[in-house]
Amino acid sequence: MSFTWRRVRKSLKAKRNPIEFACKKAEAVRRPIEQLESLANQDYLDVFYYDESHFCLTPCVPYAWQIKGETIEIPTARSKKINVAGFFSKKNQLIHYYSEASINSEKLTEIFNDFALKTTKKTVVIMDNAPIHKSKIFMSNIEKWRVENDLFLLFLPTYSPELNLIEILWRKIKYEWLEFNAYLSFDRLKRNLKTILDNVGKKFNIQFV
């Protein structure tokens, strides 16, 4: 019956808080990231933060100054999604890929292949452990990017989105930079979003301490 007779072991796993445990792992990774950013500041290498996000006509509801007794209402509707994959640096450099098609393992690999060709020096990409980022197709290319393009990947621990700085960029776009009228139609949303993505580092910037 697939049973074996052996000693029962004591363990604290049942008492471990998985999020608390992940936070400790994140702290262990934070220091290496700071060291990488220091090397980037000295122009020894480049550091980019990678992730995907999507945008549609169901808007993120921001705070806004509103006249007392009146409420600003944002139209909402079901719509197609605009999928954006991005590589973002603390220097406000954004290399993005913009599509209405979903990003699967093959598309993700294509994106990294293209990004690898754009690198000009040793480059580290920091990213989370989403299933698509750990697919067999994607993982099978990691060694090739390292050898051929001097491109290295650093995977973050789970439950540590605060270490992936591109999350700040997505929030800025959704809650601050996209204007209310961007949600009046899907075409308008695409135009507004593209304008923002094309102007990150120019008109749209994030100040990092």
Does residue 55 contact residue 193 with C-beta atoms inside 8 Å? yes
pLDDT > 80? residue 59 = no
Q: For residues 82 and 97, give the distance between their C-alpha atoms in angstroms, rounded to a whole number.
A: 10
Q: Which CATH architecture has domain 14-60+73-198?
A: 2-Layer Sandwich (3.30)
Identify the band that residue 75 occupies on the pLDDT scale cut at 50, 70 and 90.
low
Least confident segment among 67-81, 109-123, 164-178: 67-81
pLDDT at 40: 96
- Pick the closest to residue 75 from 187, 182, 196 (CA basis): 182
Query: Residue ranges per domain, the chain?
Result: 14-60+73-198
Amino acid occupying residue 90: K
pLDDT at 80: 87
What are the pLDDT digits (tens) for 101-140?
A: 999 999 999 999 999 999 999 999 999 999 999 999 999 9
Does residue 169 contact residue 94 with C-beta atoms inside 8 Å? yes
Q: For residues 127 and 74, give the distance between their C-alpha atoms in angstroms, rounded to a whole number.
A: 33
Entry pTM: 0.83
Mean pLDDT computed over 175-193: 91
Average pLDDT, the chain: 87
Q: For residues 61 and 72, give the distance between their C-alpha atoms in angstroms, rounded to a whole number.
A: 10
pLDDT > 60? residue 61 = no
Does residue 143 contact residue 112 with C-beta atoms inside 8 Å? no
What are the pLDDT digits (tens) for 6-43?
A: 666 655 455 556 766 667 777 778 889 999 999 999 99
Percent of the chain exceeding pLDDT 90 equals 65
pLDDT at 170: 96
- Pick the closest to residue 183 from 74, 72, 81, 84 (CA basis): 74
